[in-house]
Amino acid sequence: MFDLLDAMTSADRAGYRRALLRYGRGMSDNSVDPSGNTEAFRAFTQKAPQEPATASRAPLIIGGVLVVAVLVAVVIWLAV
């Protein structure tokens, strides 16, 4: 089996070893941690959940006014 270190000269091996010591690994790591910064992730998960917005009562009030107006119109129509 072909070994890359066997094919290198001694100067190449020394440079490779220095790079390993300096950067920790010979090749780049393409995998990305999806959680990103651990502190930011913890802050995100520990946030208090926001309460849902209460529904507006405007449609209910408008509907009630329309029902009352129709009832008043019916009563007036029947009275005439």
- Number of neighbours of residue 14 by Cβ within 10 angstroms: 11
Q: Output the average pLDDT for the chain.
A: 75
Query: Looking at the domain assignment, is residue 72 inside a domain?
Result: no
User: If you average pLDDT over residues 51-75, what whole number do you get?
Assistant: 91
What's residue 73's pLDDT? Answer: 96
**pLDDT at residue number 65:** 96
Q: Which residue has the higher pLDDT, 79 or 11?
A: 79
Domain that holds residue 13: 1-27
Q: Fill in the DSSP letter of residue 57.
A: S
Q: pLDDT: is 55 or 23 the higher one? A: 55
Quick check: is 19 in a domain? yes
Greater confidence, 75 or 52? 75
Judge whether 10 lies within some domain.
Answer: yes
Residue 16 in contact with residue 8, Cβ under 8 Å?
yes
